[in-house]
């Protein structure tokens, strides 16, 4: 299972890469806006830093605009994946870009029907937003289970990229359900490492050895 970082923050990306757990990065206009830096150069800088796939989203909403921005994003680097919203024009753009061998990540997916359409259009990744579904009282993880089952039934090549994750349980459940990728904010990556019994156990081991008064080499 691949872990992507959901951020446009270069420092967080460097820290995640140092941890050895980051296989790629997803960005969106809100995340890039938060950094206060220009749009395309930010995607380019991330793509240069990260060896794996980096999703950059189109800002246009018309077909020609999405195609133009998609091609410009893809031209930034080989590992750039073009993020496109899940609507009629977006999926038309996905089909055209797929024919040009441009990888796409279909974003803002909230139903299995939408995910089925994205796969038929030839999306490289589908991004169901589990946290935003949970926020409105629907079960985000149930959607992941449905999409994984549907894609398996027909051997679709589109990869399930679980997005809008809010806590470690979303990551664990994504793995249990067989999702291909989970994209997580940096703070969730850090939380995945933590368990209070690990810290307590380590403190006790070290304290017990310290009582002997001996060192590592004694
Ligand atoms: C996915 O690619 C999106 O960038 C992201 O996961 C959205 O998360 P949010 O719902 O926390 O904004």
pLDDT at 46: 98
Percent of the chain past pLDDT 70, that is, above it, reads 100
Q: Which residues carry out catalysis?
A: 83
What are the tokens at 11?
Answer: 């420092």
Question: Domain 2-212 - what CATH class?
Answer: alpha beta
Q: What confidence tier does 211 reach under pLDDT thresholds 50, 70, 90? A: very high
Q: How far is the CA of 24 from the centre of ligand 1 (A)?
A: 14
pLDDT at 155: 97
Q: How far is the CA of 152 from the centre of ligand 1 (A)?
A: 25
Query: What residues flank ligand 1, with Cβ below 6 Å?
Result: 6, 26, 28, 107, 127, 129, 131-132, 163-164, 183
Query: How many beta carbons lie within 10 A of that of residue 194, not counting itself?
Result: 9
Beta bridge partners of 105: 83, 125
Tell me the pLDDT tens digit for each residue of 102-116: 999 999 999 999 999
Element (DSSP H or E) covering residue 184? strand 181-184
pLDDT at 43: 98
**Whose CA is closest to atom 5 on ligand 1?**
164
CA angle 186-190-195, nearest 5°?
Answer: 155
User: Measuring CA to CA, which residue among 58, 48, 110 is closest to residue 89?
Assistant: 58
Q: Is 121 helix (H, G, I), strand (E, B) or coil?
A: helix
What global pTM score does this model have?
Answer: 0.96
What are the tokens at 33?
Answer: 């806006």
């Amino acid at each position: 299972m691949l872990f992507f970082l959901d951020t446009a923050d270069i420092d967080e990306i460097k820290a995640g890469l140092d941890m050895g757990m980051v296989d790629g990065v997803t960005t969106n206009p809100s995340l890039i806006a938060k950094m206060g830096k220009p749009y395309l150069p930010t995607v380019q800088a991330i793509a240069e830093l990260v060896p794996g796939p980096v999703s950059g989203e189109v800002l246009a909403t018309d077909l020609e605009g999405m195609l133009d921005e998609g091609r410009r994003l893809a031209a930034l680097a080989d590992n750039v994946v073009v993020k496109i919203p899940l609507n009629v024009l977006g999926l038309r753009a996905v089909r055209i870009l797929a024919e040009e061998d441009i990888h796409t990540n279909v974003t803002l997916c909230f139903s299995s029907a939408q995910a089925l359409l994205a796969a038929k259009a030839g999306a490289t990744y589908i991004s169901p937003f589990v946290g935003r579904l949970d926020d409105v009282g629907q079960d985000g993880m149930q959607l992941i289970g449905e999409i994984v089952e549907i894609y398996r039934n027909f051997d679709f090549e589109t990869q399930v990229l679980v997005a809008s994750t809010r806590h470690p349980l979303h990551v664990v459940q994504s793995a249990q359900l067989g999702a291909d990728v989970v994209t997580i904010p940096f703070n969730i990556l850090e939380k995945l490492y933590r368990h209070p019994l690990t810290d307590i156990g380590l403190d006790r081991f070290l304290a017990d050895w310290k009582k002997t008064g001996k060192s590592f080499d004694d």
